[in-house]
């Protein structure tokens, strides 16, 4: 049996519908989120900086989905293997960058709630931008060995196939283990942050802070944990435990994160809809409250 017969795939309309739905929802949600964050928020808040980059990461994933929709709707891949590599890397990069940015948001909220005075000189826009630069540099550095490995594996695959390979063509590698270790480590950081913030807020139930603000803070952590346990962890484990051509349902599940991330902005950020001036005044008032509390 030749390569064309062995690796030819049948159209999978259910996958095409899922990726198409994610694309239709994720594009406007993240585009509007990015527009609001850039238009209404001065990028002086670490939280806003991390959210802007999270939205960019999600948009990069969304723009790769039309090709996935086409592939699963037709069962053929008419573009070059390099395009397949780029689209695959955009998906992997989204999981890594999104999981890191979500964790940075959690850590920023942890410092703001648990150590408001001691952390105010560290929670600066300058430090946030440095963290963002390191994240994207790390993502790009990981692309080099992983892209080379994927290119090597694609040489043995007929060009009408993309995204789905058997175990022999794409064996387990050090990069797969690194990916899983990264996700598990970041999930642990989010769990610890959630516990510490929850305990701190519980001790402050009777102070002057609004209960609604506390609910919003905990909603941020709840959304972050949902993102890790539903979107990031299953596909990271699945890469090492199940056959590559059976992992597509987990890839579909992971891609949903770009539709869930905007909920982090809409429902968890009190000042999301406010203008820059209102945000600055609220931040100044919060600083004064912390100093005299």
For position 2, what pLDDT does the model report?
40
Q: Which of 292, 230, 221, 273 is nearest to 39 (CA)?
A: 273
Q: Return d(Cα 104, Cα 220) in angstroms, integer.
A: 12
**Which residue do the tokens 């480590």 mark?**
185
Give 3-268's CATH code, choosing from 1.10.1040.10, 3.60.40.10, 1.20.144.10, 1.20.1070.10.
Answer: 1.20.1070.10
Neighbours of 44 (CB within 10 A): 15
Question: Which pairs count as long-range contacts for 127-132, CB under 8 Å and 24+ apart, including other chains?
Answer: 127/46, 128/45, 128/46, 128/49, 128/50, 128/104, 129/49, 131/50, 131/104, 132/49, 132/50, 132/53, 132/101
Residues 6 or more apart in contact with residue 244 via CB below 8 angstroms: 164, 165, 166, 167, 169, 170
Tens-binned pLDDT, residue by residue, of the chain (293 aa): 344 444 456 778 889 999 999 999 999 999 988 888 888 776 778 888 999 999 999 999 999 999 999 888 888 888 887 888 888 889 889 999 999 999 999 999 888 888 888 878 888 889 999 999 999 999 999 888 888 877 777 665 555 567 765 444 455 577 788 888 999 999 999 999 999 988 888 776 555 444 456 777 788 888 899 899 999 999 888 878 776 557 888 889 999 999 988 877 765 555 544 544 444 444 544 544 444 44
Q: Return d(Cα 154, Cα 133) in angstroms, integer.
A: 31
For position 254, what pLDDT does the model report?
92
For position 59, what pLDDT does the model report?
94
DSSP letters along 56-124, please? HHHHHHHTTHHHHHHHHHHS---S-HHHHHHHHHHHHHHHHHHHHHHHHHHHHHHHHHHSTTTTTTTS-
């Amino acid at each position: 049996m030749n390569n064309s017969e062995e690796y030819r795939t049948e159209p999978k309309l259910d996958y095409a519908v899922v990726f198409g739905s994610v694309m239709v929802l994720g594009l406007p949600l993240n585009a509007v989120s990015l527009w609001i964050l850039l238009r209404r928020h001065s990028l002086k808040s670490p939280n806003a900086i991390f959210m802007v980059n999270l939205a960019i990461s999600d948009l990069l994933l969304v723009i790769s989905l039309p090709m996935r929709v086409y592939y699963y709707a037709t069962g053929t891949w008419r573009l070059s293997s390099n395009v397949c590599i780029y689209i695959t890397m955009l998906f992997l990069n989204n999981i890594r960058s999104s999981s890191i940015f979500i964790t940075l948001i959690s850590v920023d909220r942890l410092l703001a709630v648990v150590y408001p005075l001691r952390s105010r000189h560290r929670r600066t826009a300058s430090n946030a931008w440095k963290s963002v630069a390191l994240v994207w540099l790390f993502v790009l550095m990981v692309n080099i060995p992983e892209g080379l490995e994927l290119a090597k594996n694609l040489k043995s695959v007929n060009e009408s196939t993309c995204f789905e390979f058997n175990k022999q063509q794409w064996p387990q590698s050090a990069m797969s283990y690194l990916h899983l270790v990264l996700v598990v480590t970041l999930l642990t950081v989010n769990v610890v942050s959630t516990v510490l913030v929850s305990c701190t807020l519980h001790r402050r139930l009777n102070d002057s802070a609004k209960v609604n603000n506390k609910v919003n803070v905990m909603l941020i952590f709840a959304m972050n944990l949902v993102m890790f346990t539903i979107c990031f962890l299953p596909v990271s484990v699945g890469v090492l435990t199940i056959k590559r051509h059976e992992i597509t349902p987990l890839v579909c599940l992971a891609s949903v994160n770009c539709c869930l991330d905007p909920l982090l902005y809409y429902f968890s950020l009190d000042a999301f809809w406010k203008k820059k001036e209102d945000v600055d005044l609220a931040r100044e008032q919060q600083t004064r409250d912390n100093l005299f509390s």
